[in-house]
Structure 1
Amino acid sequence: MLNFSKSVTMKEQTHPHLGWPVEFPIPTMDHYSSNFTNCSISDFKRTVYPIAYLLIFSLGLVGNLISLFFFTSSSFRRKASFSPVNILMLNLLLSDLMMVCSLPFRAAYYLMDYWAFGDITCRIMSYVFYINMYGSIYFLAVLSMVRFVAIVKPFTYVRLQNSRRAWVLCIIIWLIVSVASIPLLKAGTYVESNQTKCLDLRPSQVGTIIMLNRGVLFLGFVMPFVVISVCYIFAAFYLLKLRKTRQNQRSQFNHKKSCSLVIIVLLIFLACFMPYHVVRTLFLEAEMDIHNNGYVESCHYIESVRKAAVITHCLASGNSCLDPLLFFFIGENFISFWRQHTPRRQSCITDQNVKVLEKINNNDLDRRFRLV
């Protein structure tokens, strides 16, 4: 997305905030220009980002394409009939596919240390990243709410099984994140030291970016995280309560399945999104302090914050690899569809062998009943 060349003007050295990129609606930390005399992490970024992006691209592309294959299979459409849960998961994997397809451009950018893909592509990179991240956050939050209702209010859940409403909700989410990300399309490429660079933030925008970060932190992360956490806590208490009452195995299985989805969503938040948002906030505060007071802290601290920003940005991008797990293990009707269409080992059991096995099983059951 964004990178900065090794050559930095004296003005940039006295005003570190000049390196902040244009992102939705706050700068992405991996693109901050840390090319100052003593606190540069340029080599660290050029090493970590290409490896991380290409790994996420490989795993995410395979996982999401396999998921998309099952969704587009006509037999799966007939069997699953696109329930609200599967509709949400479909939109989630489409968002992830957009994200993983942008990663090779980012990896090439850091490897070459200049932008070679044109102005329009530069504008799209940050736009796609934040659409994916915050779109995924809201899709995951809604999934948790739907499964929570399935556990606590099963009859209400049955009444809510409306595919049209699910599609409308997904369209609303897409519109919100797409419109909110429009400012990213305003910043294109620029030339620095005879090299084409991508998406810088102008000094006049710094104050606005800090303010927007607080709003996005609450609306884009804290609020959905609270919703998912509450769903998990209440679902866990409800399942513990059910253990004290006798229920059939089918009902217990459905409740555990719904609770598993909430747990996986919560783990994705804890692993991918929480570190990114926490470190991003610390990063912005540190860079603002540098802008106001200079390098009061040691370079060790500044480098640590910037390296943490790089790592957590990779973790946030990695959600594209983890989201397909929801479909593979929790998606409605997926397991039965997989068993039905996955080639099994050739069996040498004949009809005569089947009859013998049935006879053995019946005799074994008779012996067990005699022992009781």
Structure 2
Amino acid sequence: MEKKLVSLSPPISLSDVEPNGTSSNHHSNRNCTIENFKREFYPIVYLIIFIWGALGNGFSIYVFLQPYKKPTSVNVFMLNLAISDLLFTSTLPFRVDYYLRGSNWIFGDLTCRIMSYSIYVNMYSSIYFLTVLSVVRFLATVHPFRLLHATSIRSAWILCGVIWLFIMAISTILLNNGSELKGNVTSCLELNSNKVMKLKTMNYIALVVGFLLPLCILSICYLLIIRTLLKVEVPESGLRLSHRKALTTIIIALIIFLLCFLPYHILRTLHLIMWKAGKCKDKLHKAVVISLALAAANSCFNPLLYYFAGENFKDRLKSALRKGHLQKKKCSFPVCTQLKKETRV
């Protein structure tokens, strides 16, 4: 059961709460109609996200790792974002099983702890990678020579390492609480009523540092890019390639923020403010469930960013597809059979 609380960012002790909408009293939870809704909603949605996210991000990683003459810092950030998404989607089958079993966890305490940890590490690492990616695009467009060191490959890998370490370290608090035996079932990802006040405080910190600050930075980059484009004389053919890619990157990042992360952070905050043990607010709970699914779906939308705004991504993609086609053509069944015969002779 995913109590909305868990959505708190790195500093949040979320592992007890994901958008459940039920109290820590398991029997009381069973009386809430939201339980049936989650059982029907989560497995289908998580399965779709798993298939789409695993294929999209797995293939994107393959494309990014293809040898290319000119590596860029932008692709470094996108590669790390794709890795984060792929790691997260690999945990979704466990969630699907949990809800199909009526919120009964069978995979052990450690795995339960990792479930909460994974979704928030992915959520906030995605937010930071998208933000840094947009800032780098902006700097490379507006100050291409003055800030070359900030967009170097080495600096990109160092910054990615800092982001990973920062979010993973602060999120370790989510590993403190695991599964809990309640009656004849084992619950996981439920709200602990004894920690509501602590979770509220952590939620506000996560809301500001993990979401509002990056959103403000993204918005400022967008406005400054627009301002730059209005000042620069643009060729008749349209925007210069660098400007177009910078603008595309920021626009897609803003769409992901507004569609995937904004509803969840708003509803999570409302959920924590209005939550009371033993009371079921079905409409709010269902809204939180849907918003968490949208937050998880960011891993499905990010491959669109790679395709439309990635540096040389389309060229790498064509090269990878061409290589695969040639290998398949060379080794079609009759040919391979003939080659084997010739080798034996």
TM-score range, shorter chain: 0.7 to 0.9
Deviation per residue, 1:91-121 (Å, 9 max, x gap): 1011101110011100110001211111111
Corresponding residue to 1:108 among 94, 97, 111: 97
Instruction: Decide whether aligned partners of structure 1 residues 22 and 202 sit closer, same or farther in structure 2, where only a CA change above 3 A counts.
Output: farther
Give the distance between the partners of 2:30 and 2:84, measured in 1 at CA. Answer: 39
Q: 1:63 aligns with which of 47, 56, 68?
A: 56
Deviation larger for 226-235 or 203-212: 203-212
Match of 1:264 among 245, 252, 263: 252
Deviation at 1:327, TM superposition (A): 1.4
Q: What's the secondary structure of 1:155's corresponding residue?
A: coil
Instruction: Please tell me whether the aligned partners of residues 2 and 18 of structure 2 are also in contact (alpha carbons under 8 angstroms).
Output: no
Question: What amino acid is the match of 1:98?
Answer: L
**Aligned pairs (5 A) from 1:1-372:** 2=1, 25=12, 27=14, 28-33=17-22, 35=28, 39-73=32-66, 75-76=67-68, 79-81=69-71, 83-113=72-102, 114-242=104-232, 245=233, 247=235, 252-287=240-275, 290-291=276-277, 302-343=281-322
Distance in 1 separating the partners of 2:179 and 2:149: 51
Q: 1:370 maps to which residue?
A: none
Aligned positions, number: 316
| Larger RCO (CA under 8 A, 6+ residues apart) | 2
Unaligned 5+ segments in structure 2 are: 327-345
In structure 2, do the counterparts of structure 1 residues 152 and 109 end up closer, same or farther at CA, with 3 Å as the change threshold?
Answer: same
Per the TM alignment, residue 45 of structure 1 is displaced from its structure 2 partner at its CA by 0.6
- TM superposition score normalised by structure 1: 0.78
Identity %: 41
CA contact (8 A) 1:264 1:326 kept: yes
CA distance 1:21–1:197, change in 2 (3 Å)? farther
Structure 1 residues 165, 115: CA separation in 2 closer, same or farther (over 3 Å shift)? same
Q: Residues 260-286 of structure 1: CA distance to partner in whole angstroms, max 9, x if unpaired?
A: 111111111011000110111111111
AA of the residue aligned to 2:78: M
> Deviation per CA, 1:257-312, whole angstroms, max 9, x where unpaired?
1111111111110110001101111111111xx35xx86xxx7xx21111100000
Q: Pick the structure with greater CA Rg.
A: 1
1:50/1:157 CA distance change after superposition, 3 Å: same
Q: Is the contact made by 1:210 and 1:284 (CA closer than 8 Å) also made in structure 2?
A: yes
1:48-88 CA-partner distances (Å, limit 9, x unpaired): 10011000000000000111111222x23xx232x211111
Q: Distance in 1 between matches of 2:99 and 2:290?
A: 15
Take 1:337 and 1:240, find their aligned partners in 2: how far apart are those partners? 32
Shift of 1:161: 3.4
* Distance in structure 2 (CA, Å) of the matches to 1:312 and 1:3: 11
Structure 1 residue runs of 5 or longer lacking an equivalent are 5-18, 347-372
CA distance in 1 between counterparts of 2:74 and 2:254 reads 17
Give how far 1:157 is off. Answer: 4.5
Output the amino acid matched with 2:212.
Answer: V
Cα 1:234–1:110 change in 2 (3 A) is same
TM-score by length of 2: 0.84
In structure 1, C-alpha distance between the alignment counterparts of 2:59 and 2:96, rounded to whole Å: 24
